[in-house]
Structure 1
């Protein structure tokens, strides 16, 4: 059941960022061949994952006034994501991402997003998304959007300001992308955002981007430094890939092992993890319950092809515990 039913008409989660058209080849691009067409974007992956779990989600991003943009919006609408806060940019194209399988466990990714509509998302668009139908319960941001350009950075900053004004919980997934900016550039922005953040999610190698330079040491030590810095952060969740994840709070730290599955495609696993964690948070679950749902949704992503296609519905969450070869009737 959607948590919206218990909270009036407020949207559960608002997220913003760039969603691109995704083309997935069957082999080396230079050899040609067929490609599957879909969409991809960290923030919209989270929105879809939450929508499938029964939560109301809204995506505020910009697409071009083109057929690629229509594909993005149509797909998100079909997945139950509210795109009324999205904007169309008549002067910039929708971004494109190409996935090129080269080895069984190696896929090269090629981006065509410079000057895209998503990089030109405006603060005014974010203000409009916050206003209608009303402030969301949770704002979810990643470290990808601010790296796209000055306009997108300003849009994210405005979203953080609005979240503070309206008492909206802020979740930040660091999601560092070295192709978009340097670690130094990312650190400057992430550290300036920390005072606005309630739930911080990062891999162990991304955590240093969020703490003061002198806060060296282990991920556990860095998490404790963030929790004790008077920033307002109540939870630091460290994603450890195949080793699971650890949540750090004022009460201590709790680790959850990854669920064993046959890995097919790791793309989108981190976004699925975030969707699971926020879902349990919205449901009022404790830290153990949040981690359990997060590693479960992450496992579904790893066991499926695509960025978001394998995201489970609420009734499917128990399938991973059904056992190998089980027929579910």
Structure 2
């Protein structure tokens, strides 16, 4: 796979200190900076924003610097080039790197979401939706080889639809431009993440008619990952990062959508609170947020099935080759 150049990095220096007593004198310690690149900004990643807004990363002594890298290829390029330390992106990207024979493979160490996060949006609201209505229509899909597109095609096939034969499939629109393309008139149906899907409903530009997450089943959809070399040199940091994530996951599970919305709203300043509450509820109801950071082997095998169905898998990557659950398991034992 050809990785395109990474986007410019946003480096904001911010050092916080804590005082600890030692040998009768105050000792100043700096939080460890961790540069995180997320593949997109989405309410699908609510536990990540909760870990930031609720101070769970800081409690672990980490200064997490978050940037949005817009697309799996750009995110992985940033990670491989050292522009970021940790990536939040689909775990399929680690398989692509592994299939290339990387000497320093990318390791999945903590799961964030466990279903696909996209929804099928129709331009016109049907009286009653049936998947067969897509046949012969133009479908504005996600990037070929990316997890959203593969999960989407997997779901379509389950419904008896040949994505390439029964639809006019459009896959050449850049990830960040898909909503604008649909809004301008391209496609009868589009595959969108939240909150964009609900925004289109609110603006009368489309109607959510189905969930690809429900149709494609559980899989390690979005995962925190890092290069093996980084993990080997920063095991304590990775452990603290995973500890903070698990705190956030438990917090998300315990809180109502309204409280979660208030926690993540600073990351979605242009989105109305009522819409955020609705989206969070939608994701919680379909159990998209992983309950803990452990990457399940059965879900991993489902991921491989999805990739194989899309023709993107050279061979089935062994679970233990690029998955390290040791940090997640320790976080859960605390």
TM-score (norm 1): 0.25
Please identify the structure whose Cα radius of gyration is greater. 2
TM-score (norm 2): 0.25
Structure of greater relative contact order (alpha carbons < 8 Å, 6+ residues apart): 2
